[in-house]
Structure 1
């Protein structure tokens, strides 16, 4: 098998490990030229629907938030990403891996997550340059 085929399968597998399932509406925030297109395609393939953009005005089952160090305030981005997320929906915070442009320190992520009233439930490598952290609303 070629390396390109292996990478495509790995990204489809990452989308499955992220827990996306058929029929879900996934809103994507922070899309840019540096995001992993194969991962996006894997998510769309699993859900059977294209990713919705930031202009979504209905509820989403999940949110995919691409965030880089220079994108502004992470806490604000997290809070804003909850606007159309179902009460029991999951938010995937995708940040560049260490050593990549836009890397966000783990301590900064932890602080922003807590301030936004969220909790971490899972962290995985989702693509060559990206790490994904699954967040949910903190249970009280």
Structure 2
């Protein structure tokens, strides 16, 4: 699977998600962007599955805020999210945008990703108030 991160693309396409993919969601809370969640589910045609989903997934989104823990907690969560992915699966870490409460720097995400065996590849404005950072394992998502 090749991710499409063309800013002109809409919804699931700009994240590299395609029809019928199972997307596992981590870190859901009241502050997530519900319009983005709905858009992703509508475009792939499958509801997002939660952290307790017990099968292999195609991709994942991780909502992460500074108040969710330190870099070790993010590393642990990324390892968990990656452990259920198909070989070509991607993980998107969604954090509050710079200047917002709970913002996490892309450098911190990159450090946690590296320790978890992942690498950041691109970022985009995921939704109003949310920045998305795309992660893949070496050899994945090319």
Q: What's the TM-score bracket when you normalise by the shorter of the two chains?
A: 0.7 to 0.9
Q: 2:20 aligns with which of 10, 23, 46?
A: 23
How far does residue 41 in structure 1 lie from its aligned partner after superposition? Answer: 0.6
Three-state SS of the structure 1 residue aligned to 2:108 is: helix
Determine if contact 1:69/1:104 at 8 Å carries over to the other structure.
yes
Task: Choose 59-68 or 130-139, whichever is displaced more.
Answer: 130-139
Once the 2 structures are TM-superposed, how far is the Cα of residue 83 of structure 1 from its aligned partner? 2.3
Q: Counterpart of 1:115?
A: 115
The number of residues matched between the two structures is 130
CA RMSD of aligned residues (A): 1.8
TM-score by length of 1: 0.86
Partner secondary structure for residue 89 of structure 2? strand
- The alignment status of 1:45 with 2:42, answered yes or no, reads yes
Gaps of 5+ in 1: 1-9
User: Which residue in 1 is equivalent to 2:127?
Assistant: 127
CA deviations on 1:105-129 (whole Å, 9 max, x unpaired) are: 2221121111111111221001111
User: Contact between 1:28 and 1:65, CA under 8 Å: does it hold in 2?
Assistant: yes
Secondary structure class of the residue paired with 2:87: strand
Task: Tell me whether 1:78 sits opposite 2:70 in the alignment.
Answer: no
Q: Is the 8 A contact 2:106 2:133 kept in 1?
A: no
Report the TM-score when normalising by structure 2: 0.85
For the pair shown, the structure with the greater C-alpha radius of gyration is 1
**1:15-55 Cα shifts (integer Å, max 9, x gaps):** 32112111100000101111101110111011101000111
Aligned with 1:74: secondary structure? helix
Distance 1:47 1:31 in 2: 19
Distance 1:14 1:120 in 2: 20
